[in-house]
A and B are shown apart, each in its own frame.
Chain A
């Protein structure tokens, strides 16, 4: 089977695999059987089990159909993998920093870093956008609407 065929059947295969994992492991372990009966109403496992069987049957049918038709799919490779990696790394760093430093400082640094390092924009427009946007966010959400933002444990 070629790579393009596998890519075409990947949706059905994933559905099938999900169904099997649900039936064999997840539902027995993470959906406890009921201790009592409520007059004919299906128990807590019934609905997830039906869905799991649905995944197995429909996913299997999709794989069969894709193979029968000879459908092929070419997965598009990222044009700029370096840029994507850089943004992902910055985002992870930001997520780790937010609980300690808070949303607003991390947001400013994240915006400037992404626009300058990953997108190659000039520093001045990036800083201006980041600072003005953060000021607007603070004014609208925190001061006006009273919506809380992650504050950061370092400042407590």
Chain B
């Protein structure tokens, strides 16, 4: 009973009840506007959430991410342009449906698929995270060191076609995380005698610089052009449609959950797998690509299925699987919380309140989806040239807000340039951020493990868990290297634009 009261105490806050639905709504609008990404929105808004209580702050960021996943399908269906990368697959069947005059039916299909995918994902989070956290209690420093190495390898291997550049990105993040005072030896490292770097590179300017500014710069590199959107008609997603698409939705959600729970894969890849599976198993596979409802349902259920599932490794082990969860990890740290087994031990009511709020946010998607249906054409057609200048101002305010120094603003612009360079060099920025977030944890666990073993390095590779994790890392490296070598027989021609 006391536990239940504590959970309610977490949830019964007016700001949470107001801001969570607003975050979902805001995420849907951001996702619906091509060119505005959820990463940009979460990155820009993170500094402002740190002034709220931890649960509200974290849930606002999750709400924006969830809302934008559905929002991305709106522009995919109405404009033939995915609002988010995860909606790329929705375009294939969503836009042909809109061209046939069934935009309303396609949007409602996406809405129900997103809702069911999201609910199933939260159920999976509730069922798996606690058990995984209990398992994580057996981890000591050397196991955590091995786990972080494994996560960085998986993320590097899956985020880009080149494992080497992915790992280089992760190592660059680890290097950035080294900057500042070494707490064990009390010596400054890589601060270049700049006093402001004594506490390390500030997280917020780095995040905004790497993820919001390059998008803004890319926007102004192109000529100003606006896209036309189809009108939302009165066609509906009927009960017969629901019965027909339900198996695809369930299968797509399961694929999304499985792939979301593995660090590094993310929503975009899972939608393509779910779409391919839906097409393979459909009796009317010729309809795919011409406006099949099952195509929309598969893609949308899979991308929403990943959302809460990406929180499984984050909450249970403290390991982020994608950019949004890396940002969430930063938010947890700022609020003085450390995700992982200890959070389940020390603050279970917080975890259960988070679960309940995640369930509720799924219903917000359904509610706002129906409420906004008539306005979707208007939202998707908002001129981006009017939206980007306020975003620029928000990035400056966001970078300044926490430290109250212009140094943070200049740092943000410096990392904006770094972000553009990383795109040119085809080094994935998400691995840099994840490396930066995990840097302290990795070095700290390595040092503690070596202190325990009195400097004996081979001891890092002893014990069944550590051996298992290191073996998994090795298998991934060998598998990716083998794939790269096989592919090299045929030669490649690539361009940054094509890879983006």
**Could you list which residues of chain A lie within 8 angstroms of chain B, going by C-beta atoms?**
8, 10-12, 14-15, 18, 22, 26-27, 30-32, 34-36, 38-44, 47-48, 51, 54-55, 58-59, 61-62, 65, 68-76, 78-81, 83-84, 87, 91, 94-95, 98-99, 103, 107, 110-111, 114-115, 118-121, 125-126, 129-130, 133-134, 137, 141, 145-150
Alpha-carbon separation in the docked complex, A103 to B396 (Å): 9
Q: Which of B178, B222, B447 contacts A79 (CB 8 A)?
A: B222
Alpha-carbon separation in the docked complex, A84 to B406 (Å): 23
**Which one of A27, A103, A114, A126 has the highest number of Cβ atoms from chain B below 10 Å of its Cβ?**
A114
Q: Which residue of chain A has the shortest Cβ distance to B383 in the bound complex?
A: A121
Q: Which residue of chain B has the shortest Cβ distance to A92 in the bound complex?
A: B413
Note all chain A residues with C-beta closer than 8 A to B171.
51, 54-55, 58
Contact present for B185 and A38 (CB under 8 Å): yes
Stretch at the interface among B97-105, B296-304, B346-354, B449-457: B449-457
B interface, over-half SS: helix
Alpha-carbon separation in the docked complex, A111 to B394 (Å): 11
Indicate with 1 or 0, residue by residue over B357-397, a CB within 8 angstroms of chain A CB atoms: 00000000000000000000000000101101110111011
Contact present for B189 and A30 (CB under 8 Å): yes
Between-chain CB contacts (< 8 Å), 5 pairs? A38-B185, A76-B497, A107-B396, A120-B385, A134-B393
Contact present for B453 and A40 (CB under 8 Å): yes
B174 interface residue per 8 A CB criterion: yes
Note all chain B residues with C-beta closer than 8 A to A79.
221-223
Q: Which of A65, A74, A148 contacts B495 (CB 8 A)?
A: A74
Contact present for A38 and B491 (CB under 8 Å): no
Alpha-carbon separation in the docked complex, A44 to B396 (Å): 33
Min CB–CB distance A85 → chain B (angstroms) = 9
Note all chain B residues with C-beta closer than 8 A to A38.
184-185, 451
Task: Knowing that A39-B455, A58-B164 touch, tell me 9 more A-B residue pairs with CB under 8 angstroms.
Answer: A30-B191, A31-B187, A32-B187, A39-B451, A40-B450, A80-B221, A111-B389, A119-B224, A145-B48
Q: Which of A40, A61, A68, A84 contacts B455 (CB 8 A)?
A: A40
Known: A14-B425, A30-B189, A41-B184. A71 touches B175 (CB 8 A): no
Min CB–CB distance A49 → chain B (angstroms) = 10
Contact present for B495 and A110 (CB under 8 Å): no
Contact present for B385 and A115 (CB under 8 Å): yes
Contact present for A137 and B393 (CB under 8 Å): yes
Alpha-carbon separation in the docked complex, A147 to B171 (Å): 34
Count of chain B residues with Cβ under 8 Å from any Cβ of A? 68
Contact present for B396 and A98 (CB under 8 Å): yes
Q: Which residue of chain B has the shortest Cβ distance to A34 in the bound complex?
A: B185
**Which one of B222, B386, B401, B443 has the highest number of Cβ atoms from chain A below 10 Å of its Cβ?**
B386
Alpha-carbon separation in the docked complex, A27 to B189 (Å): 8
Note all chain A residues with C-beta closer than 8 A to B222.
78-80
Known: A65-B488, A121-B383. A75 touches B496 (CB 8 A): yes
Contact present for A80 and B393 (CB under 8 Å): no
Contact present for A73 and B496 (CB under 8 Å): yes
B165 interface residue per 8 A CB criterion: yes
Q: Which residue of chain B has the shortest Cβ distance to A81 in the bound complex?
A: B221
Contact present for B389 and A114 (CB under 8 Å): yes
Contact present for A11 and B185 (CB under 8 Å): no
Alpha-carbon separation in the docked complex, A102 to B424 (Å): 34
Q: Which residue of chain A has the shortest Cβ distance to B400 in the bound complex?
A: A150
Alpha-carbon separation in the docked complex, A83 to B389 (Å): 13
Note all chain B residues with C-beta closer than 8 A to A72.
493-494
Note all chain A residues with C-beta closer than 8 A to B446.
42, 47
Contact present for A149 and B451 (CB under 8 Å): no
Q: Which residue of chain B has the shortest Cβ distance to A52 in the bound complex?
A: B175
Known: A11-B165, A11-B426, A125-B386. A48 touches B189 (CB 8 A): yes
Tell me how many residue pairs across A and B have CB atoms closer than 8 Å: 207
Min CB–CB distance B197 → chain A (angstroms) = 10
Known: A68-B488, A76-B495, A148-B404. A111 touches B390 (CB 8 A): yes
Note all chain A residues with C-beta closer than 8 A to B404.
148
Q: Which of B162, B224, B451 contacts A62 (CB 8 A)?
A: B162
Contact present for A51 and B174 (CB under 8 Å): yes
Min CB–CB distance B164 → chain A (angstroms) = 4
Alpha-carbon separation in the docked complex, A38 to B451 (Å): 8
Alpha-carbon separation in the docked complex, A22 to B222 (Å): 36
Interface residues of B in 273-311 (CB under 8 A from A): none
B427 interface residue per 8 A CB criterion: yes
B208 interface residue per 8 A CB criterion: no
Q: Which of A42, A83, A137, A146 contacts B224 (CB 8 A)?
A: A83
B333 interface residue per 8 A CB criterion: no
Note all chain B residues with C-beta closer than 8 A to A114.
388-389, 392
**Which one of B168, B193, B224, B488 has the highest number of Cβ atoms from chain A below 10 Å of its Cβ?**
B168
Indicate with 1 or 0, residue by residue over B443-480, a CB within 8 angstroms of chain A CB atoms: 10011001101111000000000000000000000000
Indicate with 1 or 0, residue by residue over B160-181, a CB within 8 angstroms of chain A CB atoms: 0010110110011011001000
Q: Which residue of chain B has the shortest Cβ distance to A114 in the bound complex?
A: B389
Contact present for A69 and B488 (CB under 8 Å): yes
Alpha-carbon separation in the docked complex, A18 to B221 (Å): 28
Q: Which residue of chain B has the shortest Cβ distance to A85 in the bound complex?
A: B220
Q: Which residue of chain B has the shortest Cβ distance to A63 in the bound complex?
A: B164
**Which one of A44, A125, A145, A148 has the highest number of Cβ atoms from chain B below 10 Å of its Cβ?**
A44
Alpha-carbon separation in the docked complex, A130 to B478 (Å): 54
Interface residues of B in 6-62 (CB under 8 A from A): 48, 51
Known: A48-B190, A73-B426, A73-B496. A62 touches B389 (CB 8 A): no
Contact present for A84 and B427 (CB under 8 Å): no
Contact present for A129 and B496 (CB under 8 Å): no
Known: A71-B493, A125-B386, A133-B390. A44 touches B189 (CB 8 A): yes
